[in-house]
Structure 1
Amino acid sequence: MSDPRSGGRGPVPDPQAGGRRLRVGVLGCAGIAERRMLPSMAYQPLVEIAAVASRDGARAEAFAARFGGEPVTGYDRLLEREDVDAVYLPLPPELHVEWTIRALEAGKHVLCEKPFATGRAEAAEAVAAARERRLLLMESFMFLHHPQHAEVARLLADGVIGELRLFHGYFGIPRAGTEADAAPRYASTLPEVAAYPLRAARLFLGDGLRVCGAELRRTERDARPIAGSALLVSSRGVPAHLVFGVDHSYRSGYAMWGSEGHLRLDRAYSTPDEHAPVVRIERQDGVEEVPLPCERQFTRIAGEFARTILDGGDFERHGEDILRQAELVDAVDRAAAAARS
């Protein structure tokens, strides 16, 4: 099993900040930036919001008034700024690779929202650009930086449910409006939703997962994908059953079935800052609930991004992680296409 304990080093505030700060430009005023990342950066002493860009100047000004930094009209103008060391990129997924490469060519490190790319070929182009320029390219899987997953890893290592027999990951969100109203949103949202259980499977089962099958449910009106599932098997023969969709009641988490018990963690991906996680363990001798403290996972990933740059950390592992995730997404897409043909 891969070790999730390396993510999100250090408490917030960071006692070792020592006045060092990474000057970050925000490339796009998306909802995830407004709701979670930018408010969270305010708690991260290693980060300074230097500029906020939007194609709509008024929107950039509104964001800058709330979160700090200089408002900038147009993404290219932000990339020209010498007071920006790195960019946070929350644009729609179809724009991720294009603007990541532009940012890298401008000499900026990049923290990009997930899913980073539509497939490995696109991901490889961007990773190669980052390597060539010796810049950090990091995919914003913020949930990896919440300590709750390290606690789950510890419980598994301690044999609390015996030998692992099955990983089950799930993430679903409600439809926005009628199917006709929401249809344009499906194509970009579903890959983002699916990315979470896929990344969680890699976290606990390691890389080298083999996709045995996958399916996508589509709208009747225009055949847009709205839900799906996949069956994978780890190199040690442990299966992973993943379910995801944008036509569901909200559910976000994973469960693991072992030879001696069952473990479940809910609110595992989009964990609110004020949420106190609970790991539920069921065994033949009873049920145990392990309470865990609240944590700011967006603040922690911002700190990990800044610290890696400021300390000259391991850029390479983040590029490899992007490639492995993209490879797995490709494999699921191929399996779903084969099932439909």
Structure 2
Amino acid sequence: MRKKLRWGILSTASIALSAFLPGMADSTRGVVVAIASRSMDNANKVASEFDIPRAYGSYEELLSDPDVDAIYIPLPNHLHKEWTLKAAEAGKHVLCEKPAALHAKDAADMVEGCKKAGVIFAEAFMYRHHPKHLRLMEIIQSGELGTIQSIHGHFTYNQLEGTTDNVRYQKQMGGGAIYDVGCYPISAARMILEQEPVAVTVQARFSPDYDIDVTASGLVEFPNDVGLTFDCGMETAPRCSLEVVGTE
């Protein structure tokens, strides 16, 4: 029987409770064995609710647990680099929430740090493993669409309530629509084309209260004159779609 990968979670963030833990409960390959929070009470509460064996009142304690193989990091964006590197140094594989980093150099440092430590690093773009997107890649690679001409992506939602304490509205934490949901169509285009952009033009509307982009639209140019057009927003009617246009 295959040994299950033993997971530890850094923080009791809502995405961990609403998505990662329920998903892991259905997994045949992984099990959550530990969770950490800056608040011991929060860690104990979540551990009790989800039947997690161990709870820690600091992230460092969890990273020192020899029974943890891999770490899930759902921390605010500005903390991703720090704790990815610390997890790697502790010999743990890392699944880091998107966006992995706020700057290209930080992302490169994270990848290099994990390579040096001999651990696997992955960014938590769950859509890449969804059957719909696996089927999309099969269709594209089969040549059924012909030559790809353009890609169009949209991801918007309305977060007008409760913005004061929401990390998405905190500039210093890496808030903003592009970091939160604009990264999805950009990531998808890079996956589909298997290339990196050569030019980017973006127009955004910034919140006068929080100084972060609340809506944005852009053109991302790839080699061979293929373009991605995208829009994203946190104060917009909910929309989520991806269109790939070929010659066929």
Q: Give the TM-score normalised by the residue count of structure 1.
A: 0.66
Return 5+ residue gaps in structure 2 as ranges: none
Give 1:160 deviation, angstroms. 4.8
The one-letter amino acid paired with 1:144 is R
Check if 1:40 corresponds to 2:23. yes
Give the CA deviation at 1:183: 7.8
Aligned length: 242
1:246 aligned partner, one-letter code: M
What code does the residue aligned with 1:209 have?
Answer: P
Contact 2:76-2:167 within 8 A present in 1 as well: no
Asked if the contact 1:61/1:71 (under 8 Å) is kept, the reply is: yes
* Number of the residue aligned with 2:95: 111
2:36 to 40, 48, 53: 53
Q: Secondary structure at the match of 1:40?
A: helix
Q: Structure 1 stretches of 5 or more lacking a match?
A: 1-17, 261-341
Q: Which residue number in structure 1 is paired with residue 138 of structure 2?
A: 154
Say whether 1:89 aligns with 2:77: no
Partner deviation per Cα, 1:244-295 (whole Å, 9 max, x = no partner): 11111111120123334xxxxxxxxxxxxxxxxxxxxxxxxxxxxxxxxxxx
Using a 3 Å threshold, how does the CA distance of structure 1 residues 111 and 157 change in structure 2: closer, same or farther? closer
The letter for the 2-side match of 1:22 is L
Q: Distance in 1 between matches of 2:221 and 2:80?
A: 29
Equivalent residues of 1:206, 1:234 under 8 A apart: no
RMSD: 2.0
Q: Which of the pair has the greater relative contact order for Cα pairs under 8 Å at 6+ separation? A: 1
Please list the CA deviations of residues 49-77 of structure 1 after superposition, one character each: whole Å capped at 9, or x if unmatched.
11111111121112112322311111111
Q: Percent of aligned positions with the same letter in both sequences?
A: 33
Match of 1:198 in 2: 186
Report SS of the residue matched to 1:91: coil
Q: Using the alignment, how far apart are the partners of 2:92 and 2:167 within structure 1?
A: 32
Alignment of 1:1-341 (within 5 A): 18-67=1-50, 68-158=52-142, 160-177=144-161, 181=164, 185-186=168-169, 187=171, 188-190=175-177, 191-260=179-248
Partner amino acid, structure 2, of 1:140: A
Q: Is the 8 Å Cα contact of residues 176 and 213 (structure 2) preserved in structure 1?
A: no
Deviates more, 1:51-60 or 1:229-238: 229-238
1:45 and 1:152 mapped to 2: Cα distance?
26
Whole-angstrom distance in 1 between the partners of 2:144 and 2:121: 36
Aligned residues of 2:3 and 2:29 also touching (Cα < 8 A) = yes
In the TM superposition, what is the alpha-carbon distance from 1:153 to its structure 2 partner? 2.7
CA distance in structure 2 between the aligned counterparts of 1:183 and 1:51, rounded to whole angstroms: 25
TM-score, normalization by structure 2: 0.89
Q: Give, in angstroms, the shift of residue 158 of structure 1.
A: 4.9
